[in-house]
Chain A
Amino acid sequence: MIPFESFYFFFIVGILLIPSIIMGLQGKASRKYNMVVTIIMLAIIFANSLLGTISLLIFTIWQVVLVKGYIAYRKKANSTAIFCIGIIASIMPLILVKILPILGLNHLFGFLGVSYLTFKAVQMIMEIRDGLIKSEIPLADFLYFLLFFPSLSSGPIDRWRRFQKDVHTVPTKEAYREYLYLGINKIFRGFLYKFIIAFLIHFYIIVQLLETHYFELHPVQYHLLNMYSYSLYLFFDFAGYSAFAIGISYIMGIKTPENFHLPFISRNIKDFWNRWHMTLSFWFRDYVYMRFAFWMTKKKWIKNRVTISNLGYLMLFLLMGVWHGLAPHYIVYGLYHACLIIGFDFFDRWNKKHKVWPKNKFTHVVAVIITFHFVCFGFYIFSGNLFY
């Protein structure tokens, strides 16, 4: 069963979470029960996919061995080569999932959520390397973090230390009541976003555009309409998903981080990436861009800050594009955003010197409008409709 797709799914989750809610409202710990719920939900989600189940099991064992092995190693030594091998090994399942279909070995390995789970595992290797994760990693806690069912299929991408803190904090009765209220609130916002707004946009605009002969009659209008409606659809559908995942997490006492913060009112492209798919862009910011820039600055391989920063952006967005898939439009999407952010940075520096673009309410509104159109064009590249 695909998570969050049917009301049946919500019905099952709703029933399974009744004991969590009762325990939470009494100020009792529901951690163990919630772990059992996660196992039941995994069984339900993967019930009709034997291949997915086997892949998930192999993936999980692989990541457990890597993380446990690396932390044991890290207590004794800290070689960069071993760290790099660890990272590559951790990403390997995802690479296989992306490459096997190209080699014609379709459906051999892969399961729902593999790309999101990989982020969780890789960050652990990185934080162990940094010495931020030192204490023992209890197996049950690690599995709970990795396989936490609300965020399994499409995020948000949580962080181990944050998640672990929530798991081991039992909210007071009052605090839990607040969690429950917020959780239910978010789930209903998810219903509004995904099942009402996104559905309506899809049904009344996107499908209509495809079915009528609009394209032959007005190709330009067709592309424009498709671009803006797809952008809005993508937001409401995805933000709806995230709201479900976050809402259910709250009811389980886990404050999964937010993923969207009004992305269409971003005043520039940097602001946009702080508001759109936030857990993904923060992941790339912290574990790719910042690390790359830090390393380059420290080793003094590249002297120029701007060059380092631009290379960092290029790497970040190319990786993000490839992570979505190896199809050309994803790579173009990555390149497009890299160009936008490098271009914006250039403009921002230039403007600091020449002061042509003042900061006031009017320029703010104009900046929001410009950013919106650039962002929508990006989504249009992302949709693949531009090329095919």
Chain B
Amino acid sequence: MEKQDVYDLLAEVCQDDVVKEELDMDIFEAGLLDSFGTITLLVEIEERFGISVPITEFNREEWNTPNKIAKELADRA
């Protein structure tokens, strides 16, 4: 799993390529990811990268920017 794969996935789920460029943007604040987007993202992460992140682990303080998400996933890979 490369960082770029994570950004691509995020762009797909958020339906906006801006997340590939602004890596420190708060995607919840920006309204790009909601509760349901989070679920799609977690299911995709599990299917594509084989990493299962429990829903309660995915909090909006530590998983709110593309960079942070990529880092959290890299730590678990």
The residues of A with any CB-CB pair to B shorter than 8 Å are: 126-127, 130-132, 285-287, 289-291, 293-294, 297-298, 305, 308-309
Contact = CB atoms under 8 A, between A and B. Distances in A.
Interface string B36-68: 101110110010000000111100000000000
B35 interface: yes
A123 to B, nearest CB: 8
A153 B2 CA distance: 49
B12 to A, nearest CB: 14
A294 B42 contact: yes
Contacts of A298: 43, 46
Contact of B39 (A127, A130, A131, A294): A294
Contact of A293 (B36, B46, B54, B56): B36
A126 B56 contact: yes
A294 B53 CA distance: 11
Interface of B: 35-36, 38-40, 42-43, 46, 54-57
A132 B57 contact: yes
Nearest to A306: B36
Given A127-B56, A130-B57, A309-B36, 7 more contacts: A130-B54, A132-B57, A286-B55, A287-B56, A293-B36, A298-B43, A305-B40
B46 A291 contact: no
A128 to B, nearest CB: 11
Contacts of B38: 290
B57 A294 contact: no
A131 B54 CA distance: 8
Nearest to B36: A309
A132 B39 contact: no
A92 B40 CA distance: 32
B45 to A, nearest CB: 11
Contacts of B42: 294
B34 to A, nearest CB: 9
B4 to A, nearest CB: 24
14 contacts: A127-B54, A130-B55, A130-B56, A131-B54, A286-B56, A287-B56, A290-B35, A290-B39, A290-B55, A293-B39, A298-B43, A298-B46, A305-B36, A309-B36
A297 B54 contact: no
Contacts of A132: 54, 56-57
A386 to B, nearest CB: 30
Nearest to B47: A298
Contacts of A127: 54, 56
A85 to B, nearest CB: 20
A131 B55 CA distance: 11
B56 A285 contact: no
A286 B46 CA distance: 18
A205 B54 CA distance: 48
A286 B35 CA distance: 9
Contacts of A131: 54
Contacts of A291: 55
Nearest to B34: A270
A294 B56 contact: no
A63 to B, nearest CB: 19
Counting chain B CB atoms within 10 Å of each CB, the highest count among A287, A294, A308 belongs to: A294
A286 to B, nearest CB: 5
Nearest to B37: A305
Given A285-B35, A289-B35, A290-B35, A297 B57 contact: no
A293 B36 CA distance: 8
A298 B35 CA distance: 15
